[in-house]
Amino acid sequence: MKRLSLSQAFWFLLRRDLLLAFRNRSEMANPLLFFVLVITLFPLAIGAEPNLLARIAPGIIWVAALLASMLSLDGIFRSDFDDGTLEQMLLSAHPVPVLVLAKVTAHWLVTGLPLLLVAPLLAMMLGLDEDAYGILLLTILLGTPVLSLIGSIGVALTVGLRKGGIILSLLVLPLYVPVLIFSSSAIDVAASGLPATAQISMMLAFLFLALSLSPVATAAALKMSMS
Amino acid sequence: MSALLQTRDLCCVKDDRVLFEGMNLALKAGQILLVEGKNGSGKTSLLRILTGLSLPESGDVLWQGRPISEVGADYYEQVNYVGHHDGIKRDLTCLENLRLVQAMGKPLPIDLDDALEKVNLYRFGDNYVATLSAGQKRRLALARLVVTEAQLWIMDEPFTSLDKASMAMFQEMFEQHLEKGGVIVLTSHHDIEMPQSDVVRLNLSE
């Protein structure tokens, strides 16, 4: 029997990770819950000032999304590292970057996509200008995969350390900043009725850059962590 | 017949301690290498270097005369590694785990229920791995040898938590693999008697 084609292996691993996530769904709901909680706390703390809330809504939503993504990062490779399946993945005859991409995709589907679904609701609660909803969704759609992809490099570098949590944040946060700046700026601009084409183009560029480079970097980092 | 797996001047250093140096091995088809030695003498390190998971301080591992870093995917396709960790997911069933193993390697055309029967796990196909005992998990980990095709088997303490009957069963499986022209490298603290086979012993403590 021939070994699976590359795309078959990709889909297989993606399905496996989704199945595992489904079986651990309470754990997987954590980032989403965090995202919702942080955002709902802001109006309580700031008080009923609709204008102020609407003004800072893009920032709140994106900072919360960023932290929620960081919260879940370690899960990309942790359990696989602990039970030895990561070892087997690196020994597979398939190119490791493709397998890494499958795992990161699964991670994004489980932790990033739900943010996209609840974001409009939270934006409404904060009183964000209605014109900006489309751009808000677009920035989350383009931005959260970038966060997962960049984060996977950091996790791969720190997965072999027993207490890699703080190093992970230090490694990954600076790389998250451009995404944060451009996405909140895009929503800001859209809320004031101007086109956000420039920011969206930059975010698309980030996404393609991360898609093409980060799986390779992650695979190399994993090999380093394992040896 | 030329050697399948060779090492050339292999040297391994860990935390400034030289575990072994100038190691030259040559294994032909049908040979089994038993790596022995005290705890911390570098058995696992040697095995991980042979798989390509770790890099040696200096020297090369050759597969059919070519360095494994050059052979790449074609080498990995020929290797079945069972490490300290079982490499199986607790939250998947036995069958799901075996399907994953097959997806990552070169699958053999074998019915997975038959494969489970071969490692005495018949009827456990739909059980979650988390519910299995340590020995059963080990048998499931070793089932990767049954469901994928690889010429070189590298195993780190394969008999941990196995009972005597299972040990005998796997030794028989190893003998069959060697008869078919396979190569095996393994470490074990158990006494291994395989009189039919061409056994090479390597003691890292000496």
DSSP state of B14: E
- pLDDT of amino acid B196: 77
Q: How far is B57 from chain A (nearest CA, A)?
A: 12
Report residue A24's pLDDT band, with 50, 70 and 90 as the boundaries. confident
Sign of CA dihedral A116, A120, A121, A126: positive
Domains of chain B listed by start with CATH number: 5-203 (3.40.50.300)
Q: At what angle do helices A50-73 and A96-111 cross, to 10 degrees?
A: 140
Residue A186: per-residue pLDDT: 94
Q: Which residues contact B125 (CB under 8 A, 6 or more apart)?
A: B93, B94, B95, B112, B113, B116
Q: Is the pLDDT of residue B168 over 70?
A: yes
A64-69 average pLDDT score: 92
At residue B3, the pLDDT reads 85
Domain boundaries, chain A: 6-226
Cα within 13 Å of Cα(B89), Cβ side: 26
The answer, yes or no, to whether residue B166 has pLDDT greater than 70, is yes
Q: Which of B76, B83, B96 is opposite residue A84, by nearest beta carbon?
A: B83
Find the CB nearest A92 among B88, B104, B107.
B104
Q: Distance between CA atoms of A167 and A155, rounded to whole angstroms?
A: 10
pLDDT at B193 over 80: no
Residue A220 burial (C-beta neighbours within 10 Å; 0-12, 13-18, 19+): middle
**Structure tokens that stand for B140 in this block:** 């499931």
Distance CA A161, CA B61 (A): 28
CA atoms within 13 A on the CB side of B155: 25
pLDDT score of A222 more than 70? yes
Q: How far apart are CA A145 and CA A139, in angstroms?
A: 10
Query: What rounded mean pLDDT belongs to chain A?
Result: 91
Global confidence as pTM: 0.91
Segment A105-123 mean pLDDT: 93
The CA distance from A212 to B51, in Å, is 28
Share of chain B above pLDDT 90, in %: 28
Q: How confident is the model at residue B1 (pLDDT cuts 50, 70, 90)?
A: low
Residues B69 and B58: their CA atoms lie apart, in Å, by: 13
Interface predicted TM-score (ipTM) of this complex, two decimals = 0.88
* Per-residue pLDDT at B197: 79
Task: Give the torsion sign (CA, B127, B129, B130, B133).
Answer: positive
A→B contacts (Cβ < 8 Å), by residue, are 1-4, 8-9, 12-13, 16, 19-20, 23-24, 79, 82-85, 87-95, 223, 226-227
Q: Which of A107, A119, A108 is nearest to A183 (CA)?
A: A119
Pairing mode, strands B58-63 and B31-36: unpaired
Alpha-carbon distance of B131 to B94, in angstroms, equals: 10
- pLDDT beyond 90 at A203: yes
Phi, psi at residue B13, to the nearest 5°? -120, 130
Mean pLDDT for A55-79 is 91
Record: contact A94-B106, CB cut-off 8 A: no
- φ/ψ (deg, to 5) at A50: -55, -40
Q: In what order do the strands lie in the sheet with B58-63?
A: B17-27, B5-14, B58-63, B66-67
* pLDDT reported for residue A1: 65
- Give the best residue of B78, B82, B85 to mutate against chain A (max A CB count within 10 A): B85
Alpha carbon of A84: minimum distance to chain B alpha carbons (Å):
4
Q: What is the pLDDT of residue A157?
A: 93
Q: Which of A2, A3, A224 to mutate to test the interface with B (most CBs of B within 10 A)?
A: A3
Which residues does chain A have within 8 Å of residue B48's beta carbon, measured at their own beta carbons? 227
Report the largest interatomic distance among the alpha carbons of chain A, rounded to a whole angstrom. Answer: 66
Instruction: Tell me the nearest-neighbour CA distance from B195 into chain A, angstroms.
Output: 31
The alpha-helical segments, DSSP class H, found in B34-80 are 43-51, 68-71, 73-78
Q: What is the pLDDT of residues B182-192, one digit of tens each?
A: 999 999 888 77
Q: How many CB pairs under 8 A join A and B?
A: 85
Give A91's contacts in chain B (Cβ within 8 Å). 51-53, 76, 79, 81
Mean pLDDT of B168-196: 87
d(CA A107, CA A146): 12
Q: Report the SS3 class of residue A195.
A: coil
CB contact under 8 A, A9 and B103: yes
